Chains A and B, each alone.
Chain A
């Protein structure tokens, strides 16, 4: 992550994310630093890891070999299709519910008062603590409780950021809109939605990270399937090289999905990157 992106993290209390206007397009030099850091870590790991602890710090070359083994026997593909079903299902639910509740509570005081204590409470409780409850509530160890777990992990950044985005609409622009006789519908499309968009997208980026955590936690606690199963299964038999494969898949997913959202932001909020 660049420094600019770090500024976008939502603080654990309740702050709204900084709108994404400070993100800058990465230059070739930035990429050199990013890839160089990774190469350096991998190099040190490859050379010195095995000398420190042969069993646990298996070198990256072993992990690469393990990756192809798991692809060859089909285990990785099966686990990924299982896990991504949960991930995208859960993120979808979180996105829809987060947007609807976020918009409603950002716009109407009644909804805000009704849900705010609940949101604060659920957001403060470590989501992990609620996972066994979800399993019991669904009376199943199938996909639905795991999707619900991902949604629980992912919903709050989306909900809170959407709410803050809608609440923080520039009052001066609301007045401009009134001055030109806006309708309620046009007020949403001209002012409220565009001004909330950067907040929502910052929330989605955070939700992706939390959703991936939720996915693995759900697979540990509910049914033991997917990438979470691979981690536990190979850890138990000390195949640390194979255990790392799903971990790296999850990390790669995080990078790709957050990059996708950032790209999406450039497409749907082009005014943000046009500064200077």
Chain B
């Protein structure tokens, strides 16, 4: 509502609840811990229970408590337990999420790959901080971008979305869940310390209706065997939840249509291709961008907190510069970038790393026009003045 001020972490937690989160498992790690702390309150409806307890004990016992008991908040013993437990929860029917940062995100890679292979809808919020290694826990960075796509081994698909404001964090969290349910794949909500910790005005009505997508359930027909990995919608498997008693068999190995492990070429080759293709074929729809002043000769491609720097320059009518803000990082759609930069004379890629989306943009654009990296690492944001200096340095 107007004049509400939310924190980024709060927006993420509230968005998750709105999307239907029923299972959160995480491990404390700066700067993502606030998301876990807030969800530990929201999932247990602590506020509601205390408020209503005075007047409506029966309502609390009969209506609220059963709902609360269906939700789970777990602080696990480490990030590996966190990621694998959300995969388990998801395959048992829950909408599941975790939140972490660099070192935890690295630990989670095997679990993320497992989710890709078994087709588990899960959401991972990675709040980027200074790396590598323990790095700079309380400063933002954008150093994990490539890791989101390639961190886990083997060929796999990944969807990575990146908000640039607290308000967008709310809607993108919901979108992350919807995409996870639709594609039965992990979706990474990629943000950074600045956006997660900052507070800004939001105009969000938490009670407004919003589209929520749920995974498809299998139709069981008499005399037709149930094949968890043999029935598809748009190349996404339609799998019954564990606990439905259908005999769902799940494994991280190459598997046949009935879910039994079967590592051989005839099965592995089409399986791997399907897991990647089910997402790749929707690249052009999934790759969302925001364009401001797209006809300018000089275009800055950026994402997340760095876009705020560019937006503040454009707000002050800085001439001849436009913004292509990536709301989706992966799947990266080359043709969209090519189309958007068709008439540009110079493209810049601005990021808080030493060139990660820069590699994607450079590949897409080729040698047609110069593509210049504007980078800053070490824990500070690119200021508007620095951005202008970079742009002027290259504008003739």
Asked if chains A and B come from one complex, the reply is no
Which B positions have Cβ atoms within 8 angstroms of A? none
